[in-house]
Amino acid sequence: MAEKILIFDSTLRDGAQAEGISFSVEDKIRVVETLDKIGVDYIEAGNPGSNPKDIEFFNRIKGMQLKHASLVAFGSTRRGGIAVEEDANLKAILETQTPAVAIFGKSWTFHITDIIKTTLAENLRMIEETMAYLKAKGKDVTFDAEHFFDGYKNDPPYAIETLLAAQEGGADYLALCDTNGGSLPFEIQEIVTDVRKKLRIPIGIHCHNDSGVAVANTLMAVQAGARQVQGTFLGYGERCGNANLTSIIPNLQLKMGYDCLAEEELSKLTSSAIRIAEISNYSLSGREPFVGKSAFAHKGGMHIDAVLKNPSSFEHIPPEAVGNERRILMSEVSGRSTIIQLINEVDPSLTKKSEETTRVMDRIKELEYQGYQFEGAESSVKLLIRKELGKYKPFFTLEDFKTIGEQTHYKEALSSSAVVKVNVEGQSEINAAEGDGPVNALDKALRKALEVFYPTISEVRLTDFKVRVIDSKSGTASKVRVLIESSDGIDIWTNVGVSTDLIEASLIALIDSIEYKLLNDMERKLKEYKLI
């Protein structure tokens, strides 16, 4: 049986230190739910001693039953010169009633003498007494040895002594922290190997990414015997971020043979990453290893041909293993063998030589001539194929729309409003909305009108909007190409629209985006009921 590596997620604590992230209590609860569903072992959720918002969160979450994970409250060892029972931070930690706690303490002499200004001996007592106190309260205790690697490089015996003090106090795990993120993989391996010889309790690893090698450092620590891995989803964290669990977990599990998550949980990695990125208000980079939209995207005739013959020719793991998907990028050069993949999703009986395939190819060429570019916008191609094959019934028709732009004295930005009229199976609905600019107003009005018929549209958010001016091949007025990226918290998809008018181009992409969402929902449901 594969050996278990405990996954300790700190997205809500260390991750929340990232520039640009500000989790509300609601956001934190949604992150906890997502992390618990994917099956991480520990969720470090905040520092109740230093942050009133975290106290509110811990109060709110007290009644929530987690399926798998243990909730962790974070804080420091008792302050110097006082008794553990009198330490306000430790009191706040105990009040959270979490089953697990993570306590950081100093292991770099310079920080003890120059920063917190106490003696090396008192620091050891602070560590040992804090561990013993929390163990006596029945907690699962991780000791985070802050700046451990720098401390070890500076004074190895003392750094080890801090770990021995934690072990003596009864800690369950000793997490070695590369707090400044300056260590390199070979150093981590050497130091973890040495620590393991001198201590008997399990070692954890906590790396920061300042040298760009936090994932590599973590893997080397596990190779050297660490059994608890700390990190954050997508590597969110202060400065250059923390070790990225969305890379670490599949590497440990699929390549190094360890057991981190159950197989069906690992296949939720991509959708969990999309969800956490969305809650964090970050857009998920397409180049993100394992979970990015481009992680398994292929372009260029020869690569595509090879991947279609045998995916392992240009893929390091099967994309389904992490819940991602292979994408064959559409472009003028890619040809029939790629289009047929998408056609076969709709009708498996068609071949490269079928008349319908020729029709789809001709239509794509015609649109590319008009200025469309389908690379990265396969969802538009999927809709196009269904339309060309006669297998598509629109979910709605847009009967009319108007946009009005206005510059008022009261608002700094140009605000716009839009009115739309849609028709769904003979029933009309009119709606109006205001927005920052006409496209935003149109998007809002369109969704409000359609939500009446299709409530799941409320899950969709525009995550990116790109406009390119393109030279018209006919030599007349120049055109614009609009690319819209949308997400419903499970999937991310991109649609394209082209016109001489920006609003019309946006509208084409917006309508496609909504149609694609509704089509996807319908197919998901049919699959659930095993009708397809």
- Contact window for Zn ion (CB under 5 A) among 9-17, 414-422, 438-446, 485-493: 9-17
- Contact window for Zn ion (CB under 5 A) among 13-21, 31-39, 127-135, 383-391: 13-21
Residues whose CB is less than 8 angstroms from the CB of residue 50 and which lie 6 or more positions away in sequence, other chains included: 75, 89
Q: How far is the CB of 106 from Zn ion (least distance, A)?
A: 14
Closer to Zn ion by Cβ: residue 236 or 516: 236
Is the Cβ–Cβ distance between 357 and 290 less than 8 Å? no
Alpha-carbon distance 213 to 146, whole Å?
18
- Contact window for Zn ion (CB under 5 A) among 7-15, 209-217, 244-252, 424-432: 7-15
Told to check if 150 binds Zn ion by CB under 5 A, we report no
Q: How far is the CB of 210 from Zn ion (least distance, A)?
A: 11
Site for Zn ion in 290-309 (CB under 5 A): none
Is the Cβ–Cβ distance between 177 and 139 less than 8 Å? no
Q: How far is the CB of 233 from Zn ion (least distance, A)?
A: 14
Closer to Zn ion by Cβ: residue 14 or 515: 14
Nearest C-alpha neighbor of 396 from the set 425, 435, 421 = 425
Helix or strand holding residue 481 (H, E)? strand 479-487
Is the Cβ–Cβ distance between 24 and 31 less than 8 Å? no
- Contact window for Zn ion (CB under 5 A) among 12-20, 116-124, 438-446, 523-531: 12-20
Closer to Zn ion by Cβ: residue 14 or 443: 14
Backbone angles phi, psi at 419, to 5 degrees: -125, 135
Q: How many CB atoms lie within 10 A of CB 475?
A: 7
Closer to Zn ion by Cβ: residue 206 or 517: 206
- Using DSSP's 3-state secondary structure scheme, residue 498 falls into strand
Q: How many CB atoms lie within 10 A of CB 53?
A: 14
- Contact window for Zn ion (CB under 5 A) among 14-22, 157-165, 251-259, 482-490: 14-22
Q: How far is the CB of 439 from Zn ion (least distance, A)?
A: 41
Nearest C-alpha neighbor of 47 from the set 28, 33, 66 = 28
Site for Zn ion in 452-481 (CB under 5 A): none
Maximal CA-CA distance, the chain: 84
Q: How far is the CB of 179 from Zn ion (least distance, A)?
A: 6
- Using DSSP's 3-state secondary structure scheme, residue 421 falls into strand
Closer to Zn ion by Cβ: residue 14 or 129: 14
Q: Tokens at residue 331, please?
A: 């472009």
Closer to Zn ion by Cβ: residue 144 or 443: 144
Nearest C-alpha neighbor of 78 from the set 45, 108, 46, 101 = 101
Q: How far is the CB of 16 from Zn ion (least distance, A)?
A: 11
Q: How far is the CB of 501 from Zn ion (least distance, A)?
A: 50
Closer to Zn ion by Cβ: residue 12 or 274: 12
Site for Zn ion in 397-436 (CB under 5 A): none
Is the Cβ–Cβ distance between 186 and 218 less than 8 Å? no
- Contact window for Zn ion (CB under 5 A) among 11-19, 126-134, 367-375, 413-421: 11-19
Nearest C-alpha neighbor of 483 from the set 468, 496, 501, 499 = 496
Closer to Zn ion by Cβ: residue 14 or 278: 14
Q: Tokens at residue 355, please?
A: 């008349």
Q: How far is the CB of 113 from Zn ion (least distance, A)?
A: 22
In the block, which residue shows the tokens 């190819």?
Answer: 361
Residue number with the shortest CB distance to Zn ion? 14
Q: Count residues contacting Zn ion (CB under 5 A)? A: 1
Nearest C-alpha neighbor of 3 from the set 260, 199, 341, 368 = 260
| Distance of alpha carbon 222 from the chain centroid | 23
Helix or strand holding residue 152 (H, E)? helix 148-154
Closer to Zn ion by Cβ: residue 12 or 364: 12
Q: How far is the CB of 208 from Zn ion (least distance, A)?
A: 6
b/e 153-162 (16+ beta carbons within 10 angstroms → b): eebeebbbbb
* Binding residue (CB under 5 A) for Zn ion from 9, 14, 128, 278: 14
Is the Cβ–Cβ distance between 461 and 486 less than 8 Å? yes
Backbone angles phi, psi at 434, to 5 degrees: -105, 155
Q: How far is the CB of 207 from Zn ion (least distance, A)?
A: 8
Closer to Zn ion by Cβ: residue 47 or 324: 47
Q: How far is the CB of 17 from Zn ion (least distance, A)?
A: 8
Is the Cβ–Cβ distance between 403 and 442 less than 8 Å? yes
DSSP 260: -
DSSP 284: P
Closer to Zn ion by Cβ: residue 175 or 422: 175
Closer to Zn ion by Cβ: residue 92 or 176: 176
Q: How far is the CB of 488 from Zn ion (least distance, A)?
A: 32
Closer to Zn ion by Cβ: residue 234 or 339: 234
Amino acid at the residue 81: G
Site for Zn ion in 41-80 (CB under 5 A): none
Alpha-carbon distance 353 to 416, whole Å?
49
Q: How far is the CB of 43 from Zn ion (least distance, A)?
A: 15
Residue numbers of the site for Zn ion (CB under 5 A)?
A: 14
